[in-house]
Amino acid sequence: MKKLLICLAVLFVTYSGFAQSNALQQAVAKLDQAQTVKDYETLEKTFLGITEQPAWLAPYYAAFCNAKIGFLLQDDGEKIEPYSVRGEEQAKKALALLDAAKQPKEAAEVYTVLSMVYRTKVFINPMSYGRKYGTLSEQALKQAKTLDAQNPRAMFVTAWVKYYTPRMWGGDKDLAKQLATQSLQQLATPATGTDPHWGKAEDEALLSKFK
Amino acid sequence: MKTSTIILLLFAGTAAAQNKPAAGSTLKPVADSTPAVADTAIKSKRALHEVVISAGAFEASDRAKGASLTPIEAVTVAGSNGDISLALRSLPGAQQIGEQEGLFVRGGTSEETRQFIDGTLLRTPNYPSVPGVPQAARINPFLFRGILFSTGGYSALYGGAMSSALILESEDLPEKTSARFFLFPTVLGAGMQHLAKNNRSSFGFNLNYGNQSLYNNIVPQKPDYFSGPIYMDGNVNFRIKTGKTGMLKLYSGWGHSDVGMNNPDIDSVALKAGYQVRGWNSYNNLSFRSYLSQNWKLEAGAAYSYNRQENNLHLTNEKGNVVAIPYIPYSYKTSDRNLETDFAQGRLVISHFFPQGQALRFGAEQFYTHDHGRSNDSLLRVTDHLTAVFAEGDIYLADNLAAKVGARMEYSSLLQKTVVAPRASLAYRLRDGSQFNLAYGIFYQEPANDYLYQPNQLNFSSASHYILNYTKKANNRFFRVEVYYKQYQDLVKTIPTLSNNGKGYAQGVELFWRDKKSIKNLDYWITYTYLDTKRDFLNYPYQLRPSFAAPHTATIAIKKYFPDINTNVNLSWAMATGRPYYHINYNGIDDQGTTKGYNAVNLHVAWLCSFIKNKKWKDFSGVAMGINNLTGTRQVFGYNYSYNGMVKQPITLPATRSFFIGIFMSFGIDRTDDFLNNNL
C-alpha cells in the first residue's frame, strides 16, 4: 500500500511536471497566435500561474504580454499605466532570476522586453513621460545589444525606434528598414519551443510601412 | 515679453511630445516624482478604476495621461506671451479680455482670481497695470510642474478668491545642468541651472531685460510712449532634497518696470493725457514638504513680497509743457500716487493618509498685508492680519464614489469679522470610465485695499458655487461639460456710499473637447463658454451684465509638429460675442451698448535645430516667430467716454497686429549616462 502510494505520488509529481511543461509550451504556442488586448491579458494570467523551470521564462513572457498590450493601446494613454507597471515588475523579476554574466543571451531577451515596457510608459503621454522613460527604454535596449549584439528582437526594437523617431532626434528610416530586414532574416525559419522566438510578425508589420 | 522662453520650452516640450520620443537627446534624470498638485484632487491608487474629483478644475500636471493637459501644453498656447493667465484663457470659463491682464472667470473680475505658488499667494502676478495695454507676467510659466486652474468649487486649503484659483506647483530639481540665452527685438535674457553631481540639489538664476522702444519705432503703437516700456527682472532659485522624501525650495525674484505714455485727451482737443507707472517688486517663496512617516506628510510655505508702485498722471499742452488745470474734469488728470505694499504669508498643511487612498488634511495660514503711501495729499495706509484654519477629508464611499469635504475659517483683523466657508465635492465613476462630479462651496474675499484706506464698515464679499460636471477620457480624447450656478453676495459698492450692498449671479455651460488621436502629430482642443451673469457692484446703478462678460465665447488651440522639418506650429483662435459697455454717471446710465464681437487668431512658428554636435555638450536651439491677431481684425473691447458723455472712443489694441522673431539657444551637459547607471 505504502509502495503504491509512493508510486502514485511519484507519478503525480512527474505528471504535474509534465503538465507544467505542457502549460508553458501551450501558453507560448497561444502567444504566437495572440492578437488582441484580451488575448494578451488572458495569457499574462496564464504565465503568472506557471512555476516551471527555467524560472525566468514565466515572468519574462508575462512582461512581454504587458508590453504588447501597451503597444496595442498606444493611442489610449489613459489605459496603459497599470500594464506598464506590471510589465516593469515582471521584467525586473525575470532579470533577478538570471545571472547576466553567465546567461547573457537570456538577459538580452529580458532587457529587450524591459525596453518595450518603458516605451509603453512613454505612450501614456509622451509630453509628461517621454523624457524619463524614453531614456530608460533606450538604455535597456543598449544593455540588451551589449549582451547579445545579434539578438533579432533587440534588433527589431531598435528598428522600430529608428523608424518612429524624428530625424533631428536620431531617427533614421533607412537604418530601420535595414535592421528590420536583418532581424527578419534571422527569424525566417519559424521556431517553436519555449525559448523566446517572437519578432517575425513584428518585423513584417514594420517593413510593410515601407511599401 | 518672455515669448522666447516660451518657444524654447515649447520646443523642449515638443521634442518630448513627438509620438515616439527619441533616445538620448532630451533626457530627464528625475529621481522621485511625487505627483504634482497632489493635494488638490483625490487620487486613488486603484489601478483601473481611478476616481479623481475634478469638478470645476482643469489640471495640467507632469503626470498627465492620455489627453489630459501637461503644463507645457497648457502654457504654450499661441498668443500667451509668457503669461500663464493669458494661456489659460484658451480653457472654458475664462473671458477674452484684450485690454487688461488677468483671468476673468465666470462673471468675476480679475481681482477675484488668485494665483498660488506652492501654497502661498502670488499677490501681483503681472507688472503694474497700464490702461488699455495688458502687462506681462512676472513669473516664467515654465517654472511649474503642476497647474490647477479652478474655475470654481476649489479646495478648503485655499481661500481669498471669490471666483477662481490658479494653484501652481513649482518644479523640483532640474533635469540637468544647463545654460540658455535668447535674443528677441523686445527682450533678451540669459540664465543657467546647475544640478549637483549627486542629483540632490540645484541652484540657478535668470536675468531678463525688455525694452520695447525699438520695436515700437518699427511697429507704430497708438499710445505715444515717452518712457520705456522697460521691464527688467531677475531671479534665483535653490532647491535641495532633505532626507528621503523632503524637498526644500527657495525662489526669489525682483522686477522693475517703467511705462510712460501719452494719449490724446478725450475732453479737449489740444491736450495730451499722460500716464506713467513705475514699479519695483520683489517676490520670495520658501517651501518645504516631506513625509514624516509613511502616512503623515507635512507641507510648509512662507512668502514675502514687496511691491512699490508710482503712478503719475499729467496733462501736457501742444508745446509739450505740463499744465495743471484746477477744475473738473481736468483736475482728475493730474495726480501722483505712491504706494508700497509689504505682504507676508506663513502656511502649514499636514496630511494623514488612510488605507484605500483616503486622507485627512488640516492646517493653518497667516497673511500679513501692509500698505503705506500717498495719493496726492491723502495718506494711504492699511494693515491687515488674516488668519485661516482649514481641514479637509478625502473619503471613498464606494469603489466608484469619492467625496472631498472640508471647511475653512478666516478671521480678518482689519474687517474684524470671522467667516466659515464649507466646501464639498463628489465624484461618481461610471462603468465606461466616464465620470460625474458635483461641487459646492462658499468663497470669501476681502474687499480690495483701495476701498479700505478710508474709514469703512466693509465686510467680506462672497460667492456660493454650485457645479455639475461630466468628463470622459478615452482613446487620447477628452470631453468635458460643466454647468454651474453662482451667487455673489456682499459685493463692494462705491455709490451712493461705500458698502457691501452689491450682489449678483452667474450661470453657464462650458464645453471642452481635446483630441490628440485623430490626426497624427496634431493636437487640438476646442472650447465653448456660455455665460449669463449680472451684478450690482461699484458704481453700477442696479444689476447689469458687467462689461467684462461676453455671453458666448469659443476658443480653438492647435499644435502641430512637422517632424521632417523640425518645425512646430501653434495656432490659437478665440471668438466672443460683444461685451456690454456703459457710461455711468450720478444720474444713472446715460449711454450703453454692446461692442462688436471679438475674433483673434494668433500664430507661432518655431524651427528647431542644433548648432553644436558635440558629445558632451548639446545645444538645443531655434528660431521662433509669431504674429498675434493675424487677420488684423479691429478689436473693440469697450469705450472711453468724455466727462460730459458726448465723446466716445473705442478701446482697441495698441497696434493692430503684434509680431516677434528671435533666436534662442540652450546648452545642457548630457549626463544621461550618470543617470542611467544609477537607475538600471
Q: Kindly report the CATH number assigned to the domain that includes residue B450.
A: 2.40.170.20
**Substitution target from A66, A131, A136 for chain B, most B beta carbons within 10 A:** A131
- CA angle (B24 as vertex; B19, B29 as ends), nearest 5: 100
Instruction: Identify the DSSP state of B35.
Output: P
Cα distance between the two ends of chain B: 42
Half-sphere exposure of B620 (CA within 13 A, CB side): 24
Percent of chain A scoring above 70 in pLDDT? 90
Q: For residue B475, what is the nearest residue in chain A, using CA coordinates?
A: A76
- CA angle (A24 as vertex; A21, A28 as ends), nearest 5: 140
Taking Cα atoms as reference points, which of B161, B213, B162 lies closest to residue B187? B213
Contact B619, B96 (CB under 8 A): no
Report, in angstroms and rounded to the nearest whole number, the Rg of chain A calculated over CA atoms. 19
In angstroms, what separates the C-alpha of A194 from chain B's closest C-alpha?
Answer: 27
Provide the 10 A C-beta neighbour count for residue B593: 13
Per the CB < 8 Å rule, is B676 touching A139? yes
Q: Structural domain of residue B65, as residue ranges?
A: 3-679
* CB-defined contacts A:B, below 8 A: 130
Please enumerate in sequence order all residues whose Cβ is within 8 A of that of B436, keeping only pairs 6 or more positions apart, or say none. B427, B428, B430, B468, B469, B470
Q: Which 3 state secondary structure label does DSSP give B269? A: coil
In angstroms, what separates the C-alpha of B478 from chain A's closest C-alpha?
Answer: 10
> What gap in Å lies between CA B507 and CA B549, rounded to an integer?
12
DSSP annotation string for B306-331: EEEEEEEEEEE-TTS-EE---STTGG
Of B16, B608, B610, the CB nearest to A127: B16
Taking Cα atoms as reference points, which of B71, B93, B75 lies closest to residue B84? B75
Taking Cα atoms as reference points, which of B72, B73, B137, B75 lies closest to residue B100? B137
Q: For residue A170, what is the nearest residue in chain B, using CA coordinates?
A: B22
Q: Which residues of chain A have pLDDT under 70?
A: 1-21
Strand partners, B493: B499, B538
Of B19, B68, B566, the CB nearest to A168: B566
**Substitution target from B18, B20, B607 for chain A, most A beta carbons within 10 A:** B20
Contact A21, A51 (CB under 8 A): no
Of A77, A140, A164, the CB nearest to B476: A77
Instruction: Identify the DSSP state of A74.
Output: T
Structural domains in chain B (count): 1
> What gap in Å lies between CA A55 and CA A93, rounded to an integer?
10
> What gap in Å lies between CA B24 and CA A2, rounded to an integer?
66
Per the CB < 8 Å rule, is A169 touching B16? no
In angstroms, what separates the C-alpha of A68 from chain B's closest C-alpha?
Answer: 16
Per the CB < 8 Å rule, is A161 touching B67? no
Of A75, A139, A170, the CB nearest to B25: A170
Chain B residues touching residue A127 (CB < 8 angstroms): 13, 16-17, 64, 70, 72-73
Q: In one letter, which amino acid is A179?
A: L
H runs (alpha helix) in A49-197? 57-72, 77-96, 104-124, 126-147, 152-164, 173-186
Please enumerate in sequence order all residues whose Cβ is within 8 A of that of B321, keeping only pairs 6 or more positions apart, or say none. none
In angstroms, what separates the C-alpha of A169 from chain B's closest C-alpha?
Answer: 5
Report, in angstroms and rounded to the nearest whole number, the Rg of chain B calculated over CA atoms. 25
CA distances from B452 to A105, B339, B341 (A): 77, 14, 14
CA distances from B417 to B160, B346, B384, B413 (A): 14, 20, 12, 7
Contact A162, A173 (CB under 8 A): yes
Per the CB < 8 Å rule, is B19 touching A168? no
Per the CB < 8 Å rule, is B66 touching A126? no
Q: What is the pLDDT of residue B392?
A: 95
Q: Which 3 state secondary structure label does DSSP give B176? A: coil
Which residues of B595-679 form beta strands (DSSP E)? Answer: 598-609, 617-628, 638-641, 648-651, 658-669
In angstroms, what separates the C-alpha of A51 from chain B's closest C-alpha?
Answer: 26
Per the CB < 8 Å rule, is A127 touching B17? yes
In angstroms, what separates the C-alpha of A114 from chain B's closest C-alpha?
Answer: 11
Chain B residues touching residue A80 (CB < 8 angstroms): 65
H runs (alpha helix) in B474-578? none
Chain A residues touching residue B675 (CB < 8 angstroms): 135
Q: Which 3 state secondary structure label does DSSP give B116? A: strand
Average pLDDT for runs of 10 along chain B of length 680: 39 36 30 37 43 77 83 87 90 94 95 95 94 91 90 94 94 87 90 91 95 91 91 95 94 96 90 94 96 94 97 91 88 93 97 89 97 93 96 90 94 96 93 91 95 93 96 91 96 93 96 90 93 95 96 95 86 96 90 95 89 69 91 93 91 92 79 39
Of A136, A143, A165, the CB nearest to B22: A165
Q: What are phi and psi of B507, to 5 degrees?
A: -150, 155
Q: In one letter, which amino acid is B429?
A: R
Q: For residue A124, what is the nearest residue in chain B, using CA coordinates?
A: B65
Residue labelled with grid coordinates 514565466: A58
Please enumerate in sequence order all residues whose Cβ is within 8 A of that of A10, keeping only pairs 6 or more positions apart, or say none. none
Q: Which 3 state secondary structure label does DSSP give B37? A: coil
Cα distance between the two ends of chain A: 70
Q: What are phi and psi of B217, to 5 degrees?
A: -70, -30
Of A82, A135, A164, the CB nearest to B672: A135
Per the CB < 8 Å rule, is A138 touching B24? yes
Per the CB < 8 Å rule, is A161 touching B23? yes
Please enumerate in sequence order all residues whose Cβ is within 8 A of that of B626, keeping only pairs 6 or more positions apart, or say none. B3, B7, B78, B79, B602, B603, B604, B605, B659, B660, B661
Per the CB < 8 Å rule, is A169 touching B17? no
Handedness of CA A30, A31, A36, A38 (dihedral sign): positive
Task: Walk me through the domains of chain A, giving residue ranges and CATH numbers.
Answer: 2-149 (1.25.40)
Residue B419: exposure state from Cβ atoms within 10 A (0-12, 13-18, ≥19): buried
CA distances from B530 to B469, B478, B566 (A): 15, 19, 38
Of B25, B72, B473, the CB nearest to A169: B25
Per the CB < 8 Å rule, is B679 touching A124? no
> What gap in Å lies between CA B558 and CA B574, rounded to an integer?
12
Provide the 10 A C-beta neighbour count for residue B34: 14
> What gap in Å lies between CA B674 and CA B676, rounded to an integer?
6
Of A78, A128, A135, the CB nearest to B24: A135
Per the CB < 8 Å rule, is A136 touching B676? yes
Residue B185: exposure state from Cβ atoms within 10 A (0-12, 13-18, ≥19): middle
Contact B419, B462 (CB under 8 A): yes
Per the CB < 8 Å rule, is A169 touching B18? yes
Per the CB < 8 Å rule, is B68 touching A125? yes
**Substitution target from A66, A71, A78 for chain B, most B beta carbons within 10 A:** A78
> What gap in Å lies between CA B269 and CA B368, rounded to an integer?
46
Strand partners, B242: B246
Instruction: Identify the DSSP state of B544.
Output: B
Taking Cα atoms as reference points, which of B394, B390, B319 lies closest to residue B358? B394
Contact B218, B152 (CB under 8 A): no
In angstroms, what separates the C-alpha of B156 from chain A's closest C-alpha?
Answer: 28
Per the CB < 8 Å rule, is A135 touching B676? yes
Q: Is the ipTM of this complex over 0.95?
A: no
In angstroms, what separates the C-alpha of B29 from chain A's closest C-alpha?
Answer: 7
